Structures are given as C-alpha cells and as structure tokens.
Amino acid sequence: MLSRREMLTVLVGAPIAALACQRYRRHEYAGRIVGGNKSFGHRVLDASLDVGGANTEEVEIAIVGSGVAGLSAAWRLERQGEPRYVVLELESQSGGTSCYATDGIVPYPWAAHYLPVPDSSNVELTALLKEIGGFDPDKNGQLEPAENMLVRAPDERLYVDGRWISGLLPRSRMLPADWAEFARFQGQVRQWVAFRDDHGRRAFALPLSNCSPDSPWVKADSMSAAAWLSAENYRSKVLRWWLEYGCRDDYGCNLDTTSAWALMHYHSARVPNPGAPSAPFLTWPEGNGRLVRHFERVIGTRMRHHQLVVKVTPAEQHVDLTVLQSNGNAPYRLRARHVILAVPRFIAAHLLSSWPTGALERSESFTYVPWMVANLHLKERPYSEQFPLAWDNVLLDSPSLGYVVATHQTLRDEGPTILTYYFPFTEVEPQTARSRLAALDHSECCDVIMSDLVRAHPDLPDLVERIDIWRWGHAMIRPIPGLIWGTDRSEARKSRGRVHFANTDLSGVALFEEAHAHGIRAADAILKERQAVPSVG
C-alpha cells in the first residue's frame, strides 16, 4: 500500500506530488469508473469453455469487433453493394477508442477526438468525410474542409512557468541554441517531405501502405527516437520535450520506446509539400464518435452488441464462430462464408483455433500502452490568465497530455463545459502500467487528475460537478523500434484462408486513417474472392 504522496510521485512525478500535497486538499468527487465489460470479455481466455449443442446460424460475412476497422469494413461492403454481413461487438456501444457518451451538456469523447484532413489521394477516407458533410466545394469546384468542422481558434495553448501561452512550443524557455536545433530539425522534416522514390512514393504517408519501402529512412525504424536524436546531436531539452509530446500524443510512447521512423512519420506524413503547414484538424464535440454515429446509421440492425466471440474455427468452405451473449441470451454458433477479425492481434491469437505454429509467439511483438481518460463535467469554465481556454490545453512538465474542451466547437465560451483529460502510462513496461492503472479506484484517479490540473486552475475543485473515468488497458499499439518495418507486422496482415484481419495494430500506429484503411483492405479482399468464386444461396 502506498501513501497518497507516494502514489502521486509514482504517477505524476515528485514535483507535482509535493506541490499537490502542500496546496491541494483531497476532495471526493461524484462520478464513476466506466468502460468495457472486462469480466465478461476475459472469458475469451477460458480454454475449457464448452457450448456444445448451441444453435447454428448462417451468414455470408461476419465482422468481429466494431472499432473503426470493423466499422470501416462494414461501410465498405455496404457501399460496394454487399449488405449480407453482421458486426459482432462485445460492448454495449460501438467505436472502440472512438466511442463517445451523450449524458453531458454536449456529446463528448472517450478517447479519439480529431481527424486530420486527409490528402486527396486518400479517396476512401475523403468519400467517408463527404458523407458526413466534412467537405464543401469552393468557387472552383474543389473540395475544402467544412468550416464548422475545422478546429476553431484558439486551437492550442501551453501552461509553462505559471502562465498560458499560445501554441504548444515552449518558446519562453527557448534560448538561441534551442532555436538553432529546432530550425535544424525543421530542415530535416522538409527533406523527408520532399523525398520521392523511383515510383513516386513518399517516405512518410497515410495510410502507411503508401510509404516507400525503399526510403533511406526505413533503417531508422530499428532504433529508438532517443537514440536517433543523440546520433544527430540534438541536445536541447526543450526540443526533446516537444518531440516527446508528439510521441505521447499519437503513440502513447516516450522517446525511448518510439521508433525513430515513427517520430519522423509524425512530423512529415501530414505535410503536403516542403515548408507547408501540416494538415488542419477536423473535430466534433463527441470527437471521432461523430464518424462512429455515421457508421452505425449505415450498418443499422446488422450491428449486434453484447456478443463475445470466444472461438473461430476455419474450414475449407466456411468459418464457425462460437458466440456468447452478455445480455443473458443463449450462446450460439455462427457459420460464415468469410470472417473479418477486426480485433487486436493478441485477441485474434486467442480466437483462432488453428493458429499457425509460431504465430502466437510472434504476436508478442505487438505491445499496447494503457491510458486513463477522464471527463470532467464543470458548472463553469476555469479561470485563465494571459491566454484564453483553447480546444487543446497542455501542461509542460506533466506526464499527462492535458485536456480538450468538448464545447469548443459550439462557439459557447462561457457556462458549463466538459474537459476530456488524457493520461498515457508511458514510463514503465506495459504490464506493470496496466497493473498500476487497474489498482487505482475512482478517488485515486481523481486525485491524480486534480493534482495535475490544479496547478494551472486553482479554482477547478469548486467547479467540478462530476468526474467519470475510463481505464483503457490496451489503448494503443506501441510503434516500438523494429515493429513497423519488421517481418512480424507484414506477416500479421496476411489472410488465413477465409479469415481476414483488420486493426490499427497491423500498421503499428493507432490512427483513424490506418484503421479505416485496414477495414477497407479486408472488405475488398472478400469482395475479390466472391467475384472469383460465386457464393451459394
């Protein structure tokens, strides 16, 4: 058992813990820990489970998992004229880490909360955004991002040395040597953006399947971002903080656990041309839940919640799925002509009864960082000196990523709001981090959050009406050195007979663009097979 100060020291660091214990009196807040049905979901690990005698239902295509990859696969099948599918989801809601809630003053996200405007070459993602009104034609007939979905100003601010400043670069701490290193890094980014191989492919692109395997930067995947920065003689602590913030934000990793290639990808893939700004962000009060809502409307009654697939048994002409139901209904078998496993690799390894020799061991290359996400429901905005409340609000010298404001796009800058707070457990090995996160009760989670935020918002304790918390045990795949361009990831993408795989971990980075692309790839593989061999019935 740890004391309060010891717990805070472990999670938020000694300086924040000391300050919290001196200035912040612990409160008890209304709210609860929400999230997935872990006890039921863990039944997938029960090798002795037997549902002999269960009824059998037949279906053409079964999609297991309704994260973005599974939803995108269903959307693709629908848009290609194939409606004979079902989507099986363990939880009561769809979306995975793009899920959302509606019991606040506005809908709000439970994790993923924005989508960069895609390049026009990403035809499928552009088509999806067109369907939700994400683009408007300009006077020349070209597509422009819809103004009401672009993040409005002020978009970002940073709390540093007791004050809020615009943007996320800690300029007030930067000396000439820091600026020189920053300029040198930006020069390298311009080189990475300009690169094209003999086939016209970029070094860094989205989705990752469009990246050049012949780029000289591929070899950087074998080393950590920290090692690469040292090799390139980047010594600025300010620059390293800024670069590490990006790794924690997109990957849930620090510089030691992020592949150097992934670091370069973060800063280059969404920049259209050398020297150009990065792609702007689209966002909604419920974050990427807006896209989940659209997917759900497309799928309709073919979405089945409370369904736990515990076994997948491939045969030559079909695939059998053993399904439990958390709503108390009887288990059943689903016989499908084709299956898309839109679940993380470690779950797929437990589901497939005929997993190839060595594949389960190779799945251990895929590691996942846990996150704590909290939604703070406030009766009024916290007071801010200097720079006003922004969409994204980050605290320097904090292990968290700060918070985003769910009401920001509503144009209401006063009154009640919801702050969505993000805390990735990046500093220790994932299994230890999961144990630490699981051990925190609601009160302790609130203590961590408030100890972090009260430094910037002394009035925050009096504004909180409730705090709800989601503990994501396997929130994001980690792009550790060697994963993205290693053989394990390329092997993991391969179909196994009539079973196809779709998940962001097949890219090594947990991005909406990657999940969407994998869902489409898996759906297209089935459509291609069906054209070659007509279905029966």
Residue type at position 299: I
Give pLDDT, residue 4. Answer: 65
- Examine the pLDDT at 192 and tell me if it is beyond 50: yes
Give pLDDT, residue 55. Answer: 87
Say if 171 falls within a structural domain.
no
Mean pLDDT of 116-139: 89
473 and 380 fall within a common domain: yes
359 and 494 fall within a common domain: yes
The closest alpha carbon to 339, from 323, 325, 356, belongs to 323
- Examine the pLDDT at 50 and tell me if it is beyond 90: no
Of the candidate ranges 121-135, 348-362, 417-431, the one whose mean pLDDT is the lowest: 348-362
- Examine the pLDDT at 15 and tell me if it is beyond 80: no
Residues 77 and 131: their CA atoms lie apart, in Å, by: 16
Does residue 411 contact residue 147 with C-beta atoms inside 8 Å? no
Last residue of a domain, one of 477, 497, 513: 477
**Total number of residues shown for the chain:** 537
412 and 496 fall within a common domain: no
Of the candidate ranges 105-114, 347-356, 396-405, the one whose mean pLDDT is the lowest: 347-356
Say if 293 falls within a structural domain.
yes
Give pLDDT, residue 20. Answer: 64
- Examine the pLDDT at 212 and tell me if it is beyond 80: yes
Nearest-5° Cα angle at 357, 356 to 358: 110
For residue 423 the two structure tokens come to 């805390």
Q: Which residue has the higher pLDDT, 262 or 39?
A: 262
Mean pLDDT of 199-212: 96
Query: Rounded to a whole number, what is the largest CA-CA distance in the chain?
Result: 74
Q: Which residue has the higher pLDDT, 85 or 413?
A: 85
Instruction: Examine residue 280 and say whether the peptide bond preceding it is cis (omega within 30 degrees of 0).
Output: no
Confidence of residue 120 (pLDDT cuts 50, 70, 90): confident
Does residue 468 contact residue 419 with C-beta atoms inside 8 Å? no
- Examine the pLDDT at 5 and tell me if it is beyond 90: no
359 and 488 fall within a common domain: yes
Confidence of residue 357 (pLDDT cuts 50, 70, 90): low
The CATH number of residue 294's host domain is 3.50.50.60
Q: Which residue has the higher pLDDT, 234 or 350?
A: 234
Of the candidate ranges 12-16, 280-284, 441-445, the one whose mean pLDDT is the lowest: 12-16
Say if 122 falls within a structural domain.
no
- Examine the pLDDT at 356 and tell me if it is beyond 50: yes
Give pLDDT, residue 532. Answer: 61
Last residue of a domain, one of 222, 250, 277: 277
- Examine the pLDDT at 528 and tell me if it is beyond 60: yes
Q: Which residue has the higher pLDDT, 400 or 48?
A: 400
Give pLDDT, residue 363. Answer: 65
Give pLDDT, residue 19. Answer: 66
Q: Which residue has the higher pLDDT, 137 or 236?
A: 236
Give pLDDT, residue 529. Answer: 87
250 and 315 fall within a common domain: no
240 and 340 fall within a common domain: no
Domain count, the chain: 3
Say if 132 falls within a structural domain.
no
Mean pLDDT of 248-268: 97
Say if 142 falls within a structural domain.
no
Burial 324-357 (b: 16+ CB within 10 A, else e): bbbeeeebbbbbbbbbbbbbbbebbbbbbeeeee
Last residue of a domain, one of 477, 500, 520: 477
Q: Which residues are registered as beta bridge partners of 58?
A: 335
Mean pLDDT of 22-40: 77
Confidence of residue 27 (pLDDT cuts 50, 70, 90): confident
Q: Which residues are registered as beta bridge partners of 88?
A: 64, 304
382 and 461 fall within a common domain: yes
For residue 247 the two structure tokens come to 């790794």
Does residue 43 contact residue 326 with C-beta atoms inside 8 Å? no
Say if 128 falls within a structural domain.
no
- Examine the pLDDT at 319 and tell me if it is beyond 70: yes
pTM of the entire structure? 0.93
Most confident stretch, 114-128, 131-145, 228-242, 447-461: 228-242
pLDDT tens-digit profile of 491-513?
A: 888 999 999 999 999 999 999 99
Confidence of residue 328 (pLDDT cuts 50, 70, 90): confident
- 417 contact partners, CB below 8 Å, separation of at least 6: 105, 378, 380, 381, 405, 406, 407
**% pLDDT > 90, the chain:** 78
211 and 310 fall within a common domain: no
- Examine the pLDDT at 336 and tell me if it is beyond 90: yes
Say if 464 falls within a structural domain.
yes
- Rg over CA atoms, the chain: 23
Confidence of residue 534 (pLDDT cuts 50, 70, 90): very low
Torsion from C-alpha of 477, 313, 38, 483, nearest 10 degrees:
-10
79 and 227 fall within a common domain: no
| Range of the structural domain that residue 505 is part of | 39-101+287-365+481-532
Give pLDDT, residue 537. Answer: 33
Give pLDDT, residue 427. Answer: 85
Q: Which residue has the higher pLDDT, 8 or 427?
A: 427
182 and 267 fall within a common domain: yes
- Examine the pLDDT at 326 and tell me if it is beyond 90: no
Please give the mean pLDDT across all residues of the chain.
91
The position carrying tokens 């009640």 is: 416
- 104 contact partners, CB below 8 Å, separation of at least 6: 375, 377, 406, 418
Give pLDDT, residue 536. Answer: 37
Give pLDDT, residue 187. Answer: 97
Say if 94 falls within a structural domain.
yes
- Examine the pLDDT at 465 and tell me if it is beyond 50: yes
The CATH number of residue 231's host domain is 1.10.405
Mean pLDDT of 427-438: 91
Q: What DSSP character marks residue 25?
A: -
Residues 246 and 292: their CA atoms lie apart, in Å, by: 25
69 and 95 fall within a common domain: yes
186 and 198 fall within a common domain: yes
Confidence of residue 358 (pLDDT cuts 50, 70, 90): low
